[in-house]
Structure 1
Amino acid sequence: MQIHEPAAGGARPTSRDVARVAGVSQATVSLVLGDKWRGRVSERTAETVREAARELGYRPNLAARNLRLGRTRTALLVVPALTNEFFAHVYTGAAAVAARHGFGVVLYPSPDGVGPARDPFASAQAALDGVIASSMAADALGAFRGTELPLVMLDSDPSDPGAAAHVNLDVADGMRRVTDHLLALGHRRFLHLASAVPSWTFDVRAAALADALRGAELRTVRAPLSVAGAREAATRAFDAPGPRPTAVVCDDDILAVGVAKVARRLGLRVPEDLSITGFDDLALATAVEPELTTVRLPAEEFGRRGMEALLAVLAGEEAPPATLPVTLVARGSSGPAPAV
């Protein structure tokens, strides 16, 4: 191996120096020197890292290692938006459990309000014990893949091997409950106002809805998670040729409110002419008139279970996958299908 200059000023070499000399990432250095490289890094790469460490006289910083292995008592909760009431409740639940165990929870939302959070982790990893993240922010988590920091995913694909634990909501059952309710009311023409945010949880809702409505007429239109976005998408759908739907199934209460605004503008009565359903049971659901039929999600319990799973992983215990039940709340926005 080529001889390399020591760290500037005779400073103690760091894992970054080892990574530079070996021509690999710091994450790879951590895997190799932590003896967790098998199956992730080739034998040749592992030997290159070990040789670089010997050449530089690198010794792991045990104090920093202890921080990474659970001594800062700090968890990061990554969510797509603080403007969404649901995630505020998730934080409340997680923080309550954390406080009982002497932990703090740092909240990281997306600066843009929806979609993946920007990656804040390069400078934060050493100050964290673990991460809890919504599937809607999954794109921000690449920096943690292959590191020692445990990751608990909320509402995400349970087959994802990159997470130490999964806590999900039974959103598929929620959609089935909505469709059973509307079908029993005689509806056969449906519009699905689907979230435009790419996420496993919305994919599951769409699949469950399509499966439950086989034999019925179903059209899907995507919209940003905003009232304005829902208004525009619903307007396009209602202006399209063909029979108007008698029921609109929305991926979120916010979208449902946008649909209700379009219905009022078009002179459609809810629920006499058009039934509308939401998802989440936000405070918004009872602030509109008629009040919204929706699926209640146990947001605080969701946060609590996520934090409990992280604490179990940090303690070296198994955290089996969990799926929390949801509830249909039938209110005034859904009623019998209008006569043809």
Structure 2
Amino acid sequence: MTGSARPTSRDVARVAGVSQATVSLVLGGKWRGRVSERTATAVREAAGELGYRPNLAARSLRLGRTRTALLVVPALTHEYFARVYTGAAGVAAEHGFGVVLYPSPTGVGPARDPFGSARAAIDGVIASSMAADALTGIGDGGLPLVMLDSDPAAPGGAPTVNLAVADGIRQVARHLLALGHRRFTHLAGDVDTWTFRTRSQTVAAELGVVPGTVLRAERCALDVASAREAAVRALTGPGPRPTALICDGDILAAGACKAARGLGLRVPDDLSVSGFDDLSLATAIDPELTTVRLPAEAVGARGMAALLALLDDTPATGDELPVELVIRASTGPAPA
């Protein structure tokens, strides 16, 4: 470390070559049965080398057992995360717990330390991987942690509750292939998290084995305007025009439909468009959107149940929830 900056759990994780969740488990005394003795030793040695000290204020909150959980999400404005909160709050209420909701101020990405801003004592954390940067301050307190939409294979990671996103995007690809489509563009969310990496990898793997298939990708931010611009690039670029756009979310699909309309293309006669999420938006646009329905409330409920298990010192295992392809009018046979 250089200068006078106080070392953080992220610094310890970097030096020890482990995840922040592992640092939290080791320094919080919750590592046995989850992390090897060798890894625990490496974490403690890294902490000693850096002069790292856990956030004592945060840890004292942990010991207080206020029967309150913190749910960290990237945004309050997205319907999916509102539904995740509903599921978590329902299970929490059944066990006499409350849930404090903490969104990233920028929508996706870093957030300030919630101990300072939420001003609430908490017993544990449920966090979306899309807001994982907010965990720096949380991890310093050694709090029990459950991750949503996060890589279950991450070494020494916290318990995860995931959606079967690979299966969902695979169902979309197979649906469009069955309709005769062979020229695709993937409108991919420009967010470096496990769930979006999984979608990209699965689309490429599923379509790559079909002879005569062409797949391109356009990355964009998770908003309508960015998706519209990406779709215009895909539909006006060099080479044969794609006949199907596979979008990483319903919001991106709405932007794609706007782009198609602006270019004089008909959905689905000239271009099929699919989404992912099954938000209310999916049936508000015309034509209604083929998309993947996500059990958001169940994600929140399972996340809260996993956190309660950790608080009871019961090993919490990873969980994956099934998703469902909902076929509507935005997809149709490939144009001749």
Pairwise TM-score range, normalised by the shorter structure = 0.7 to 0.9
Larger of the two Rg values belongs to structure: 1
1:244 corresponds in structure 2 to 241
CA shift for structure 1 position 102 = 1.0
Unmatched 5+ residue regions in structure 1? 1-22, 51-59
Corresponding letter in the other structure for 2:333: P
Size of the alignment, in residue pairs? 304
The equivalent position to 1:160 in structure 2, one of 151, 154, 163, is 154
Classify 1:49/1:114 alpha carbon distance in 2 versus 1 (closer, same or farther; 3 Å). closer
Partner Cα distance (2:275, 2:155) in 1: 32
The root-mean-square deviation of aligned C-alpha atoms, in Å, is 2.9
Give the 5 Å matches for 1:102-251: 102-121=96-115, 127-145=121-139, 147-161=141-155, 163-214=157-208, 215=210, 216-251=213-248
Partner Cα distance (1:93, 1:109) in 2: 16
Partner Cα distance (2:47, 2:93) in 1: 45
Secondary structure of 1:248 counterpart = strand
Answer whether contact 1:94 1:300 (CA < 8 A) is retained: yes
Secondary structure of 1:42 counterpart = helix
2:44 corresponds in structure 1 to 41
Partner Cα distance (1:325, 1:286) in 2: 21
Partner Cα distance (1:83, 1:186) in 2: 37
Partner Cα distance (1:146, 1:161) in 2: 19
Classify 1:201/1:43 alpha carbon distance in 2 versus 1 (closer, same or farther; 3 Å). closer
Corresponding letter in the other structure for 1:107: L
Answer whether contact 1:191 1:218 (CA < 8 A) is retained: yes
Unmatched 5+ residue regions in structure 2? 13-23, 32-39
Q: Deviations over 1:48-75 (max 9, x none)?
A: 999xxxxxxxxx99xx866413611111
Classify 1:236/1:119 alpha carbon distance in 2 versus 1 (closer, same or farther; 3 Å). farther
Answer whether contact 1:122 1:143 (CA < 8 A) is retained: no
Q: Deviations over 1:147-194 (max 9, x none)?
A: 420110000011224543110000000011001100000000001001
Partner Cα distance (2:181, 2:154) in 1: 37
Corresponding letter in the other structure for 1:256: A
Partner Cα distance (1:141, 1:86) in 2: 21
Give the share of equivalent positions with the same residue, in percent.
64
Give the 5 Å matches for 1:42-81: 42=45, 45=48, 67-69=61-63, 71-81=65-75
1:320 corresponds in structure 2 to 317
Corresponding letter in the other structure for 1:232: E
Partner Cα distance (1:327, 1:227) in 2: 24
Q: Deviations over 1:68-107 (max 9, x none)?
A: 1361111111111111100000000001111111111111
1:329 corresponds in structure 2 to 326
